[in-house]
Structure 1
Amino acid sequence: MGGRYLIDAVIGEGAFGVVYRAHREPDGERVALKSIHRHLCSDPQIFKRFQREADILKRIEGQHLAKVHEILEDNGLVIIVLEYVEGPSLEAILKTSAPELDQAVEITLQVCAALGAAHAAGVVHRDLKPANVIVERFAPRTTGLRVRVVDFGLAKVVHGDAAPGTVLTQRDMIFGTPEYMAPEQVRGDEVDLRADLYAAGVMLYEMVVGKVPFSGKSALATMEAHVRDEVPHPRSSRGGHSVPPSLAAVIRRALEKDPQARYPSARAFAEALTAAWSERLVITPNAPAAGTSIQDLETIDTELNLAEDARAAVKAAEAIQALPTTKALAMVTAPVAAPRILGDPPKAAKTKLSEPDPAGTTLRSAKNDAIESSREGAIRSRPAPEIRIEDPPPRPGGKIFWILAIVVAIACILVGIWIGSR
């Protein structure tokens, strides 16, 4: 193809196009060639959509996207020459076994990195799903994998300079894969980057739980469930495996029905996920009750938002734990800067760690709650102190007066007896 690419094998084929593995002459570099079927070149809508994908791929780049080498034409057939990515799709991985939790988190973080690069260029993927995620160097219970997000065939340019032919989707037209479509996408509304974050949340849910949150008997039933039904709690759906409450909270926020309630960006999603997995930060609607233990926190629904102040609060809690009790208690009651909810502007207000912030939530770390509850439990377990009421001690001068008075009285008695005897 193109006079300098020799096809080695077919990697994948669909209703609209095909992807080949090929090598370039004369250096032999392996590449992937993507083109639509030749008989569809006469279909203006399909041909323009493929041309749009080529234009979109030229404007985005990132280490978690397949690099575009060039776009060429061969006898009227448009061919996209891509970096060849070797590895199974996430769809193929999920068919054999679910990734470990740490692998699921790592895959999602890298997907967020790819989405961040696309969104920065004004591109929304609109068809993010496991089949469009390639995982290099994947093996069970290992690290070091690398993720690539591919297939921008349904992508949309939402801002920036749109290339000619990029506006092809009309309002109320529905595109996507039912199991991974955001509610607004199902309704045919205008979508933005938060639709991609919803799809990333569905994939994370699927990796953690072992199944997608919604899967009806038909595509229509599945799409309606995204709009109507509550997302099954990840922690109640994963049989025999423990999902940290902070991780479950991140998933649930990513799958909010209202786009405004989801994370505002791929970076915000990634930062919250990083904190949930590595630092176990939780934000509860109210401060945990006195005596709440780590085990009790496992049953509390949590909502997590990450800010730099949250990380500082965890480090402060760890420092407090290492101090003597009196100093630690003094530091806990000292005022600290109120945590910022990600996406909101910094606030100058001050608050105490034990007081709710203006949004009605209190930042707590599980470790700090355990420290405080253990202290309170220890105080409650001690017997009440015995209280004695005593007369105030007499002054030293009073004792001397009474001793002298007694001596004088005895002396008078003795003198009286002596006089009487004479």
Structure 2
Amino acid sequence: MSQARVNALRQRPDFPDAVGEIAQGQIWDLDVIRAWAGSGLRQTKAGRPKAEDKNRTLGGRFVLEYPEIGSGGFANVYRAADKKTDATVAIKVLRDIEGVGDEAINRFRRELRLMESLEHANVVSVLAQGETDAGEIWYAMPLAQGSLSDYVKQVTGNPPQIVEIMRQISAGLAYIHRQGIYHRDLKTANVLRLEAREGESDSWAIADFGLAVTAERESSPLTSSLRQGLGSWVYTAPEQWNNARSADVRSDIYSLGKILQELTTGAWPVNVEIPPGVLRPVIEKAIANAPDQRYQSVAELMDALERALGTQIQHQDWESRTEQAERLRDRMLGRPTDEDLNQTLDWALALNENDAEDMRAMTRVLPWMNATSIQFLRDRDRAGFARVIERFCKFIGSGRFSFEYCDTLANFLRRVTLAGDDPKVTGFVAAALTRLGAHHNRWHVQDVLIRILQDVQSKEAAAEVVEALRNVPRDEVQWAITDFTVRSLPVAVRNGVGPLIRAA
């Protein structure tokens, strides 16, 4: 074969890669070249290729198999033979892009080129990319054994397996974040199961960067005409709905939380009602509406998941709820460490608010927190702490306690309101103390309630208090707040509560 012919073959996109380089130039494995030459995948005859071969080959390298193995709103996925490596791969072809502007298409091409540079075990690699004669964009990636959405039912109810899958997804997400890239369309369908290499187990990898954006550019949505830049709605962070440009690390964390919710519940994560369990606190924080209330990094979320899994293993069989409460209460009575407080909050968030035993356990622990501990937990996770106090308040508002313990509960809630101005928490506390005092005829509880109401300063807190008391039986409000004491309350509270204490 002439040198010119050899040089021409080397320029073909399907020609095998060189295995090394010496001073004289690149070197190839001749056995690989012979296999390639005799594989029947390349055109050996002179002249133009047959029409059917040309239509089924992309980039001069990937021979598509029909029909497609998957189809979405604007793309088809095909199995294909890679003539360069003789491997079977997947090809995604984007179609129906006539309505997309040129700039959006150019940005998408740039993102594909960017993806080609990513190398991580938990990120699906882009092997090659290009465009068909019809102008459709395509890219090649390793062939997966399915997506995570196909395996949800198999892992639900198995926290260790869920945490392992989340660990792999998080590793891939943390990697792309370090490259200054936000995914913006994370969901179980975009996490693929890749075939294991010899001696290794199967891995999970993030795919489909069609909505990805680099932090430096802060560009507008890449495929905005196709998906309005919003990703898949149930997994999409609220701020991304309002302004796709505002998506950042925390937007991907929201989507990661929705994936965790789906794996934990076994259901499409359409709502925010998470069943009790050790993973619930992690999910609730990850999918908080406000970005600043979520985990601020993937590493932070994974630390919380590891702690939650450790908590489950620690509490599995040998410790009852009562025993857990006694152990945690003893820590609160001493000088609790940050770790003690973090474990207590995670434990409280995981309890079942509809289970009387769980809630009695909570009331044995929280009231022994001092003001410093309350402030620490509120600062660590304001939304999570508020959820715990809401559940605590609902239970004590309907529960039965000794007279002395009623006073302990009231004093704790007074410390909670002094820890910070949280209008919703103030409303929860007002309703709980009103019911607790009336049920037990405890004047100290009434005194604590009145002091809390007298301290209300903001209109928001006043509105929350009035709304909460409207949902308390009228006779209980009339017991707790008399016509005389109402005069000492701030105007906004007095005007709202006054009609509630007047005789019907």
TM-score (norm 2): 0.47
Partner residue of 1:200 out of 253, 256, 272: 256
User: Aligned with 1:112: secondary structure?
Assistant: helix
2:296 corresponds to 1:264: yes
Assess if the C-alpha contact under 8 Å between 2:183 and 2:212 holds in 1.
Answer: yes
Q: Cα 1:359–1:33, aligned 2, differ >3 Å: closer, same or farther?
A: same
2:266 aligned partner: 210
Change beyond 3 A, Cα 1:297–1:71: farther
Tell me the residue number matched to 2:428: none
Q: Work out whether residues 338 and 357 of structure 1, in 8 Å CA contact, stay in contact via their aligned partners in 2.
A: no
Q: CA, structure 1 residues 186+134, in 2 after alignment: closer, same or farther (shift >3 Å)?
A: same
Task: Give 1:194 deviation, angstroms.
Answer: 0.8
Residues 361-391 of structure 1 show CA distances to partners (whole Å, capped at 9, x for unaligned) of: 399xxxxxxxxxxxxxxxxxxxxxxxxxxxx
Cα shift readout 1:218-238 (whole Å, capped 9, x = no counterpart):
xxxxxxxxxxxxx32321xxx
Match of 2:285 in 1: 253
Query: 1:401 is matched with which residue?
Result: none
Q: Give the Cα–Cα distance (whole angstroms) in 1 for the partners of residues 313 and 293 of structure 2.
A: 19
Higher Cα Rg: structure 1 or 2? 1
Deviation at 1:153, TM superposition (A): 0.6
User: d(CA) in 2 for partners of 1:57 and 1:4?
Assistant: 19
Q: SS in structure 1 opposite 2:60?
A: coil
CA gap 1:281/1:156 in 2 versus in 1, 3 angstroms: farther
Q: Which amino acid aligns with 2:306?
A: T
> Residue 81 of structure 1 corresponds to which residue in structure 2?
140
**Are 1:41 and 1:47, in contact at CA under 8 Å, matched by a contact in 2?**
no
Q: Which amino acid aligns with 1:132?
A: N
Q: Distance in 1 between matches of 2:88 and 2:188?
A: 24
Quickly say closer, same or farther: Cα 1:334–1:193, change in 2 above 3 A.
Answer: closer
Determine if contact 1:114/1:149 at 8 Å carries over to the other structure. yes
Classify 1:18/1:168 alpha carbon distance in 2 versus 1 (closer, same or farther; 3 Å): closer
Of 273, 276, 297 in structure 2, the residue corresponding to residue 232 of structure 1 is 273
Within the candidate set 160, 163, 167, 2:216 is matched to: 160
Q: Secondary structure at the residue paired with 2:127? A: strand
Residue matched to 2:308: 276
- Superposed, 1:90-169 pairs within 5 Å as 90-94=148-152, 98=156, 100-136=158-194, 144-157=201-214, 159-160=215-216
- How many Å separate the matches in 1 of 2:139 and 2:338? 52
Label 1:149 to 1:112 Cα distance change in 2 as closer, same or farther (>3 A). Answer: same
Match of 1:65 among 92, 102, 123: 123
Out of 96, 101, 106, which is 1:44 matched to?
101
Asked if the contact 2:221–2:229 (Cα under 8 Å) also holds between the matched residues in 1, the reply is no
Instruction: Work out whether residues 115 and 266 of structure 1, in 8 Å CA contact, stay in contact via their aligned partners in 2.
Output: yes
Alignment map for 1:409-420 (pairs within 5 Å): none
State the one-letter code of the partner of 2:284. Answer: R
Cα distance, 1:233–1:12 mapped onto 2, change above 3 Å: closer
Report the CA distance between 1:211 and its aligned residue. Answer: 1.9
Q: Is the 8 A contact 1:108 1:204 kept in 2?
A: yes
Contact 1:52 1:166 (C-alpha < 8 Å) held by counterparts = no
On the 8 A contact 2:186/2:255 being kept in 1, the answer is yes
Number of aligned residue pairs = 282
Name the CA distance, whole Å, in 2 between partners of 1:42 and 1:210.
Answer: 37
- Structure 1 ranges of 4+ moved more than 4 A: 165-170, 279-282, 296-300, 332-341, 353-359
Amino acid at match of 1:202: K
Contact conserved, 2:145 with 2:192, CA < 8 A, in 1?
A: yes
Counterpart contact for 1:203–1:212, Cα < 8 Å: no
More helix by share: 2
Q: Structure 1's 28 and 281: CA in aligned 2 closer, same or farther, altered over 3 A? A: closer
Unaligned runs of 5+ in 2: 1-57, 343-368, 381-504
How much is the aligned-residue C-alpha RMSD, in angstroms?
4.2
Q: State the one-letter code of the partner of 2:275.
A: P
Mapped to 2, the partners of 1:20 and 1:335 lie a distance apart of 58
In structure 1, list runs of 5 or more residues that go unmatched: 216-230, 236-242, 283-292, 301-316, 318-328, 342-352, 364-422
**Aligned counterpart, 2:376:** 360
State the match for 1:295 in structure 2.
321
> What's the CA shift for 1:253?
0.9
Separation (CA, whole Å) in 1 of partners of 2:264 and 2:152: 11
Cross-structure match for 1:350: none
Cα distance, 1:268 vs. partner?
1.2
Please name the residue that 1:2 is paired with: 59
Deviation at 1:296, TM superposition (A): 4.3
The Cα of 1:132 is off from its aligned counterpart by 0.8
Q: Are residues 114 and 297 of structure 1, via their aligned partners in 2, closer, same or farther at CA, if it must alter by over 3 Å? A: farther
Instruction: Give the distance between the partners of 1:42 and 1:167, measured in 2 at CA.
Output: 13
Q: Give distance in 2, aligned partners of 1:233 and 1:99.
A: 14
When residues 11 and 162 of structure 1 are mapped into structure 2, their CA distance, relative to the original with a 3 A threshold, is farther
Deviation, structure 1 residue 360: 2.1
- CA change 1:34–1:257 in 2 (3 A) is same
**How far apart, in 1, do the equivalents of 2:201 and 2:157 lie?**
13
Determine which structure has greater relative contact order: mean sequence separation of CA pairs < 8 Å that are 6+ residues apart, divided by chain length: 1
Displacement of 1:213 in angstroms is: 4.2
